[in-house]
Amino acid sequence: MKNVIGFIGALGFFLLLGGCTSNIETKDLTANDWIIEGKKKDDPDTIVNFSDHVVTFSIDTSSIPSSSKDEWEALGEEFAKQLLDQMSYKFEYTLKDNTMVWKKDGKISKKDATYTVAKDEKNLVLTPKDSKDKKDNLILKPYAKKSEDSTKISETSSVKNRVKETTTTSSKEKATGDFVETASDAVFDGTTLKGNTYTIKITKHAVIQPGETGNEYGEKPVIAFWYDTLVNPTYDNNTPVNPMTAWIINFKAIQDNDPNSVNELNVASLPDQQFLDSQTQDIKPGGTVSNAVAYELDDSTTPVTLVAENGLGKEFGKTEIPLSN
């Protein structure tokens, strides 16, 4: 569990970073996804994806070793990995004459990370500007997703079955006040998800087009939700609650525009920068912290269904949100 939690900040490494051969073009970058292998034994790998002007970094959770000692810790690791799967960092970049610049603030400045890009057989080598130490180089290898380990799948199934034994059907009748009596009484009425440990209240939602504030670097429109997370004053705070984790574990967004499969939407970048620091802050018992989250839309007409559920898929309720007037 400690391994997983420690990797949440790993992506921040790239914010601190400042040659082989033929001229590198954008089509070479977008030809496939890439992976940067962890430098140490227990370091996770990082997945890199390029569009024609945006580079995206995310953790390859399949590369994270397990440190769980029992089934409950394994369940905690699974939840943490689900959270990591939703996290990414995006930067605009420019590429000219084998020089790549990652623009941290959307415009060129002295704080930008500048690299010389070269090919080494199938790999890309990014050398930081003015660096003479090869250890600083980033080696991007073509990414092939690892297959799930059968033992891990078996253990996860065992954990879920154990938890299901103590989970009962939700009861709407007991949902009074800001909190319910027990976890099995949790309910979502379309605006508020009431739980016994914490409650999430959606305060507003909006569709944000590419280039607009809150979706400056996105290539698709997003639907954004602003919400408050309230922690029960009687909670013992054995496992602290933060706004981002509370939402990711309990909500998913779906656009029903695929006749063959469930189209669950991907989480987009944070749509409101005022929550950049507070989104992962622990909430005190009796406290309330606001946050926002966004999902990439696959089209601009199909309604979005927001589903509330627990970590094992037990549904608490759902609501349909139209995108057009």
**What does the pLDDT look like over 66-103, one tens digit per residue?**
766 555 556 666 666 666 666 677 778 888 888 888 77
Q: What is the DSSP letter of 8?
A: T
State the Cα–Cα distance between residues 218 and 90, nearest whole angstrom.
9
Q: Tell me which fold the domain 167-321 belongs to.
A: Immunoglobulin-like (2.60.40)
Q: State the pTM of this model.
A: 0.54
DSSP string, 270-304: -S-GGGTTGGGPPBPTT-EEEEEEEEE-S-SSSPE
Nearest to 6 by CA among 48, 49, 38: 38
pLDDT digits (tens, 9 = 90+) for 43-62: 788 888 888 888 888 888 77
- Hey, which of 11-20, 158-167, 274-283 has the most confident mean pLDDT? 274-283
Residue 86: CB atoms within 10 A of its CB come to: 16
Q: Is the pLDDT of residue 11 over 90?
A: no
CATH class (in words) of the domain with range 2-142: mainly beta
Do domains 2-142 and 167-321 share one topology? The answer is no
Tell me the three state secondary structure of residue 197: coil
Can you give the pLDDT at residue 111? 54
90, containing H or E segment: strand 89-96
Taking the C-alpha atoms of residue 252 and residue 266, their distance in angstroms, rounded to an integer, is: 9
Q: What is the pLDDT of residue 16?
A: 42
CA nearest neighbour of 91 among 266, 273, 217: 217
Q: Where are the domains of the chain?
A: 2-142, 167-321
Span 241-294, pLDDT tens digits:
999 999 999 999 999 988 888 899 999 999 999 999 999 999 999 999 999 999
H or E element that contains 73: helix 71-85
Q: What percent of the chain has pLDDT over 90?
A: 38
d(CA 102, CA 286): 42
- Tell me the pLDDT band of 297, cut-offs 50, 70 and 90: very high
- Residue entry with tokens 């622990």: 282
